[in-house]
Chain A
Amino acid sequence: EPEVTQTPSHQVTQMGQEVILRCVPISNHLYFYWYRQILGQKVEFLVSFYNNEISEKSEIFDDQFSVERPDGSNFTLKIRSTKLEDSAMYFCASRAGMNNQPQHFGDGTRLSIL
């Protein structure tokens, strides 16, 4: 069964550094998402992406965050200048174009900011 893949599984970065989290959505999917889960807290929506543009973003997704689909397969989340509070598990998800299809999640990238 096709699945969403995320790399790396664990990223350790110094505070203030830029980080790029990578995702390969399921190949025929059209909607792409990023979520994060701070340890012990709920999974929170960050951003949705469709037709090469952001369709919705949460308050968390400020100017330090950006997303990109640089080619036909990858979907990336960039954090420009990481803060300690960015430490979390980041999940990528994708969904097919039809309305009655669910989101499928990757295994996540654990981001640790030192």
Chain B
Amino acid sequence: GEDVEQSLFLSVREGDSSVINCTYTDSSSTYLYWYKQEPGAGLQLLTYIFSNMDMKQDQRLTVLLNKKDKHLSLRIADTQTGDSAIYFCAEAFRGGGYQKVTFGIGTKLQVIP
């Protein structure tokens, strides 16, 4: 079945780059997501990448996908205190035309001023 693994915690200094890593198991994933959740808030879609892509860049965010190793990473350049949140890696499995998303446990990013 589908499973998504990610580390629980990451601490970085303001201005440094953050790299959050994720591994997934389902090779038939159609695309992979990164969501951000601030305390008490909902799931904000940050970015997503199709499974036939290797990289996607969107302003300070860079997503790298290694399909061979089933490894996904999110790099946040020039990390700010406002980036402190939980970041969820998720894979979308397209079954029968529908799409079920499987989430990782979430990585808590702490940005130290």
Which residues of A pack against B, CB within 8 Å? 6, 31, 33, 35, 41-45, 48, 50, 55-56, 91, 93, 95, 99-100, 102-108
Contact = CB atoms under 8 A, between A and B. Distances in A.
B42 A56 contact: no
Interface stretch (B12-20, B58-66, B76-84, B87-95): B87-95
Given A102-B31, A105-B42, A55 B96 contact: yes
B93 to A, nearest CB: 10
> Which of A41, A56, A102 has most chain B Cβ within 10 Å?
A102
A99 B35 CA distance: 19
Contacts of A6: 42
A91 B90 CA distance: 15
Contacts of B95: 56
A108 B42 contact: yes
Interface of B is mostly: strand
Contacts of B35: 105
Given A35-B103, A91-B42, A107-B41, 4 more contacts: A50-B98, A99-B97, A103-B99, A105-B35
Nearest to B98: A55
**Lowest 3 A-B CB distances belong to which pairs?**
A107-B42, A105-B43, A43-B103
Contacts of A102: 31, 33, 45, 48, 92
A48 B95 CA distance: 11
